[in-house]
Amino acid sequence: MELHESHHGKVLVIAPQGRLDSTTAPVFEKQLMERLATCSHLVLDFSALDFLSSAGLRLLLMAAKQIGKDEGRLILCQVSQPIREVLEISGFLGLMEVVDTRAQALEAMPS
Amino acid sequence: MNARNTLLYVTAPVNALVEGLYRQDTTIADILARGDFGLGTFNDLDGEMVVMDSQVYQLRSDGNAYEVPDETRTPFACITFFRPYSVEEIDQPLDYPGLLALFDRLLPSKNMLYALRLDGRFDYVRTRSVPRQDAYRPLVEVAREQPEFEFTDIEGSMVGFWTPGFMQSVAVPGYHLHFLTADKRHGGHLLECRPRQIRISLQHIARLELGLPLTLDYLTADLDRDTSADLKEAEH
């Protein structure tokens, strides 16, 4: 899995590419938690994410908890239909802020 | 099916089983009306139960699997309609601690119930099946005499659940899995395994329905004892 990162003011955008499953989650977890030590507003752009398993959901929960502690904000964007279904079936869709585009996510973030 | 609509039906608190209450009134037909996937045991502790794809298997202490008539009764079973939303293909050999660590990475939160199914090939599987018992003999004593079975280079499935520790009086806490060989002829309560190539399917379960048996034994039993140590020895 590759992670594409960009900074937009106080906001970090991470776009994971490939599969987020039990094999790739440990690496993503380490990198994500390192970034969240210095950044509390995160956009996860899922446009290049092919697969999300429950291991990935666990990471989303960890990120949301950390960001909540820091009074930051987590927004998901460009979520494909199969991944949206995983979020919906697992009950996570109601826990996460999801918008359609990266521009909408950045606009919703504190300036 | 949304996780909020998923439900685990537990026919009776596991505490009652631990205290030796091995007869209740719930039939196999009753549990099949509540789900197509699960595990448990049978009245008089007559073997291990596997429910998979709406079929019920009785894995007796001879290590063999038997068909189960609808009127057969169970003192303890956990059942759900299994609709996994997450599937992982594992193509590398794992030892048992490695498998448990993998499970831990698959659970988004340990405060939830999960149904787990494993299908594939295992280098090694060790199971046990409890022998038929008279009532009132504590489960921990029975478990010390349970026949164990070993399988090598075997194809099969495991069905079971993760239950949070704070629910230990309701169902077996932690990972609780029963094994059935692919030919549906053998299996038992999982003690240890080493998977080689497996698929792990997982489902959240956000609601729990607990049956409280209307039997004289249950209604007059003292179930206040802390049975966690007994349960840990008997089930793991």
**DSSP per position, B136-151:** TS-HHHHHHT--EEEE
Helix, coil or strand: residue B216: helix
- Residues with pLDDT less than 70, chain A: none
pTM over 0.90: yes
Task: Per residue of chain B (236 residues), give pLDDT as tens.
Answer: 676 678 999 999 999 998 889 999 899 999 999 999 999 999 999 999 999 999 999 999 999 999 999 999 999 999 999 999 999 999 999 999 999 999 999 999 999 999 999 999 999 999 999 888 877 677 888 777 789 999 999 999 999 999 999 999 999 999 999 999 999 999 999 999 999 999 999 999 999 999 999 888 899 998 888 888 887 777 76
B42 contacts B31 by C-beta, under 8 angstroms: no
Q: Which residues of A touch B116 (CB under 8 A)?
A: none
Are B1 and A89 within 8 A, CB to CB? Answer: yes
Are A22 and B1 within 8 A, CB to CB? Answer: no
Residues in chain A whose Cβ is within 8 Å of chain B: 21-22, 25-26, 53-55, 57-58, 60-61, 85-86, 88-92
Which CATH number does the domain housing residue A46 bear?
Answer: 3.30.750.24
Helix, coil or strand: residue B85: coil
Q: Which of B85, B90, B206 sits opposite A86 (nearest CB)?
A: B85
Q: Based on the structure, what is the number of domains in chain A?
A: 1
B206 contacts B112 by C-beta, under 8 angstroms: yes
Nearest alpha carbon to residue A43 among A69, A64, A12: A12
Cα angle value B27/B165/B191 (rounded, 5°): 70
Structural domain for A32, as ranges: 2-108
Q: What pLDDT was estimated at residue B139?
A: 80
Q: Based on the structure, what is the number of domains in chain B?
A: 1
Structural domain for B65, as ranges: 3-235
Which CATH number does the domain housing residue B211 bear?
Answer: 3.30.1330.80
Distance from CA of A76 to the nearest CA of B (A): 17
B122 contacts B157 by C-beta, under 8 angstroms: no
Nearest alpha carbon to residue B178 among B94, B54, B57, B32: B57
